[in-house]
Homo-oligomer: A and B are copies of this chain.
């Protein structure tokens, strides 16, 4: 843009609304869940939609996403969680009322706080991704893109720990992979690969926790300092990953 010689009258162009949309994901009862709000008005009244909102005048899209996330989920400390820009959806006509360009984010939470069905949305709720069914606007696509991106990033980044509480067992970490990928993994091999990747997890000395009520207590780990995962942790090769 800046290369052109336009005059910069703020109102010379059709105004674009700029918003953020959030695919807030968490793992609950062995299934991937997403935070949705029920729309109270047309269009798509009564349909579920991703939470989101307008950018404020002096706020970046990332800041807006964190603010909206705090408002929708009641999260006090939103600073440490993982927030990832997915892409921007700019199709004219994606919102029938006016031109809306939306920057979509994926956010990952370990423990789903009970959402307060905030503001004027009819209600807010965690729903399983698989059965979230037709959402408002192009939000089905955004949710699918979020799922794809998270699944891919589990392979070569340490992202999985963002789904886990500060201290977690390797079994819990494995459940993250199995839930997002929808495949079972071999436990001994998973353990070895995780421990072999430098900076992925670090042990909490002496700590242990019973997981299923019985069985041997599992050692606890913290997220390590690394961001990338070397070597990567590939999904079972289904011969033709697309």
Binding site for B on A (CB under 8 A): 1-6, 8, 10-11, 13-21, 37, 39-41, 44, 49-55, 57-62, 85, 87-88, 90-92, 95, 97-103, 119-121, 136-137, 227-228, 230, 237, 240-242
Contact = CB atoms under 8 A, between A and B. Distances in A.
A61 B121 contact: no
Given A14-B57, A230-B240, A3 B88 contact: no
A227 B242 CA distance: 7
Interface-central residue, A1, A2, A21, A101, by most chain B CB under 10 Å: A2
Given A1-B52, A11-B15, A85-B88, 13 more contacts: A1-B19, A2-B44, A3-B119, A4-B120, A4-B121, A5-B119, A13-B54, A18-B90, A57-B92, A59-B92, A60-B92, A61-B90, A90-B103
B55 A5 contact: no
Nearest to A85: B87
A52 B230 contact: no
When all copies of this chain in the complex are counted, the total is: 2
Interface-central residue, A10, A137, A237, by most chain B CB under 10 Å: A10
Contacts of A18: 16, 18, 90, 101
A233 B17 CA distance: 41
A17 B121 CA distance: 28
A102 B98 CA distance: 19
Nearest to A1: B19
Contact of A136 (B2, B8, B49): B2
Contact of A60 (B21, B39, B90, B242): B90
B5 A120 contact: yes
Given A11-B15, A90-B103, A3 B230 contact: no
A10 B5 contact: no
